[in-house]
Amino acid sequence: MGILNQARASVIQRGYEYYKDKKVINFRKESDTVFYGSVKGTTAYDVKIDINHTVKNTYCNCPFAKDNRKICKHMVALYFTAFSNEAEQYIENIAEQERIEEERFNEMYGYLYDEDFEYYEDDEEINDYVMYEVVSNYVNNLTVPELRFRLIEALIKLYGKDFP
Ligand SMILES: [Zn+2]
């Protein structure tokens, strides 16, 4: 587990994609905790992971990880190759997370999508509707951190000191 605990979320995500795209070649298992492989990227990198000694004994010669103690996407790809059940778990957690976020969003704003909602009563309402389309387009393209940030901003603007 040490590898994933020490990696940034974006690194795990890229590592998962490398694993899924089968970019790990020459996979070799030395023991239950030590694994070797090469990972194809722009060039192929040589990777070794030791899940019991992630700092001292884990290595990759890519520019990101070479000469420092960072966990890189190649190490994560090798890790997922060695522990494919962890990869399954990872992607299930992501899917679950997205489902929860979508549910939360629908709870908060779902009524706006309700087709029974009567909108077109006069021009002003049509303008509101167009505005809604523009804003929802914008919001739907935000990443989750951006979305959180914008929501906080909007709530502060809306409620000021009276929140919640
Ligand atoms: Zn690397």
To which H or E segment does residue 148 belong? helix 144-159
Interatomic CA distance for residues 10 and 84, integer angstroms: 19
Q: What is the pLDDT of residue 117?
A: 52
Interatomic CA distance for residues 31 and 110, integer angstroms: 51
When pLDDT is cut at 50, 70 and 90, the band that residue 85 belongs to is: very high
Query: For 119-155, what is each residue's pLDDT tens digit?
Result: 555 566 666 777 787 788 888 888 888 888 888 888 8
> Which residues are found with C-beta within 5 Å of the ion, ligand 1?
60, 62, 65, 72, 74
More confident residue, 67 or 31: 31
Q: How far, in Å, from the CA of 39 to the mean position of ligand 1? A: 8
Interatomic CA distance for residues 103 and 66, integer angstroms: 42
Q: Report percent pLDDT > 90 for the chain.
A: 45
Interatomic CA distance for residues 7 and 58, integer angstroms: 13
* Domain boundaries defined on the chain: 2-83, 88-162
Q: How far, in Å, from the CA of 143 to the mean position of ligand 1? A: 26
More confident residue, 10 or 41: 10
**10-29 burial by CB neighbour count: b if 16+ within 10 A, else e?**
ebbebbbebbeeebbeeeee
Q: How far, in Å, from the CA of 51 to the mean position of ligand 1? A: 15
